[in-house]
Structure 1
């Protein structure tokens, strides 16, 4: 099911509907579009199973309320209509279990449903006081301890252990450059690293200052018209330039697959390639493959910034976090005995 399968926009011609749909496609990050389509498939299947009807635009308040109630409890030992619907969704592969979904999952599906209403300039039933209150109570009733996206942050010492496994083969040179860029440029997401092109690496200041400028055309928090330029200095900059020089890459994908014969291939790495590379390097460093995920590089950058006493605002300029509250969580995770503020008087 795709966004094109949605019912028609209110008071729009077929041509205008098609144009607006295409505009949303071009103006929305690919990851967001994929999440919308998954959520659309889920809510459409849920309503058909619960009410025997397709989605309506605007949706009825009673449907929104039922959706929240059905997803606000563990249905394992609760036979009834809600469990029957859940079992049907499990049978078609849209739900994993009868356990209560995480509040974040419910929030994301509701946010997607609301977005579909905004596309049609329609009021969402999730804005009604009764539904909002039910959603708030469900979130509090099913609150869970925060689970980090990576079991461990990849701080400087861990990163050094990973870099020590990178030899002078093309694969080793590539992995060294990828890991250092991902960490030192602010903890880049794996899709951001894989999406870089050679043209996105500005080298004008490299000879004089050892400085590269990285242009991120699109991130989770910025658009193409807001493409940030981020500095990359020192060893990390030299590692990226070394990769470019030994491979002769001047345009197209920056990081590419390397063949068994150690030859860079002319295509882009998969968006999830950094996960595979990180697991490989963790194993070579004598650490468990599940020690950290690619998000550990992002968490590690902010954690290391906290350990080194870098101001939160300075770290956020590189990490591109919009929310100080979100970024502050990494600072709060630093063991208090390691907080630089404990050494103000010295030994």
Structure 2
């Protein structure tokens, strides 16, 4: 890259992220302003944007483009390179969002809006567009196979055997995750204070969510008692809390090698790892279950049990009933279908 171009891209060349922001318009931000700025988007979104922005900067460096302000040729060329490499449309869409975000952060014009970029982007979507990947639904009986694969006892060389805390947590994770139909981020963010008692089970308070990021309205999710103790999310959750001694803070936590609960909660990567390991232990490794499989499993299972889309949405908090219908997989395509009752 030439010296002139290096100088041109200097505003965007700070380490991937530009957050926390200290100066946007030659006027230093206060600590409170920085805190509110960081809270403007979910931390997971910001981290994803950091990574995406750095990749764009790296590509611009190789191709001798300025990343900020990025010319239309840089953005359209970057999208074309991604499409050539086989990137998914959803991935490219997120990369564009990151580029927009970091330009807005510096009060620069949106480089994804010029006609050259929008035309190329529309062509990429038409040529490479595909239905979004859907997590395979994890539901009975496979769900209970994973529950049965959790550990129950922990053996030690220097002290008596103890109930396996990680196993107790995993049972709560699986059953609460399924019955509550929470998104993985919501499940990981639960605290003890979010769990309220109810005569029919528990009520989960969700302060903010993907569709309620500012927490403008409190969302409630029910966690009912199940008739079979081994399939009951409430009993599994109570057992985990009793064994771990957790009375405040994060609800679902990591467990140390010494069989003690950590002060920090789980994150998506650890949830994904546990589900993958339990699926392998239960003989279902080939299914490719992920954290989202619990939510998908709830929707699919509820539909198979005769629940209406509106009833399902009351638990999943989908604002669109069409979104609920999108979860109904191949398992339900043959039920209540006119093509199977043609009398021919």
> How far apart in 2 are the matches of 1:108 and 1:118?
15
> TM-score scaled by structure 2?
0.77
> How far apart in 2 are the matches of 1:46 and 1:259?
41
- Per the alignment, residue 53 of structure 2 pairs with 40
SS in 2 for 1:213: strand
1:121-160 aligned within 5 A: 121-144=107-130, 146-148=132-134, 150=135, 152-160=136-144
- Per the alignment, residue 297 of structure 1 pairs with 294
In the alignment, structure 1 segments of 5+ residues that lack a partner are 75-98
For the pair 1:230 / 2:221, whether they are aligned, the reply is yes
SS in 2 for 1:156: coil
Is the 2:171–2:236 contact (alpha carbons within 8 Å) kept by the matching residues of 1? yes
Residue among 137, 140, 149 paired with 1:165: 149
**CA gap 1:339/1:167 in 2 versus in 1, 3 angstroms:** farther
Give per-residue Cα distances to partners, 1:293-312, cap 9 Å, x unaligned. Answer: 22211111111122122222
SS in 2 for 1:272: helix
- Per the alignment, residue 333 of structure 2 pairs with 336
**CA gap 1:175/1:66 in 2 versus in 1, 3 angstroms:** closer
For the pair 1:115 / 2:101, whether they are aligned, the reply is yes
SS in 2 for 1:229: strand
Deviates more, 1:274-283 or 1:15-24: 15-24
Q: CA deviation at 1:181?
A: 0.6
Is the 1:195–1:271 contact (alpha carbons within 8 Å) kept by the matching residues of 2? no
> How far apart in 2 are the matches of 1:128 and 1:343?
50
Is the 1:3–1:21 contact (alpha carbons within 8 Å) kept by the matching residues of 2? no
In the alignment, structure 2 segments of 5+ residues that lack a partner are 1-14, 153-162, 226-231
Q: CA deviation at 1:122?
A: 4.2
Is the 2:20–2:34 contact (alpha carbons within 8 Å) kept by the matching residues of 1? no
**CA gap 1:334/1:121 in 2 versus in 1, 3 angstroms:** farther
Q: CA deviation at 1:260?
A: 4.6
> How far apart in 2 are the matches of 1:220 and 1:191?
9
The structure where strand makes up a greater share of residues is 2
Q: CA deviation at 1:173?
A: 2.4
CA RMSD of aligned residues (A): 3.1
- Per the alignment, residue 71 of structure 2 pairs with 60
1:2-81 aligned within 5 A: 2-4=16-18, 12-16=25-29, 22-51=35-64, 53-57=65-69, 59-72=70-83, 74=84
Q: CA deviation at 1:31?
A: 0.8
Q: CA deviation at 1:324?
A: 4.0
> How far apart in 1 are the matches of 2:333 and 2:112?
41
**What is the number of equivalent residue pairs in this alignment?**
309
> How far apart in 2 are the matches of 1:60 and 1:9?
24
Residue among 310, 315, 319 paired with 1:313: 310
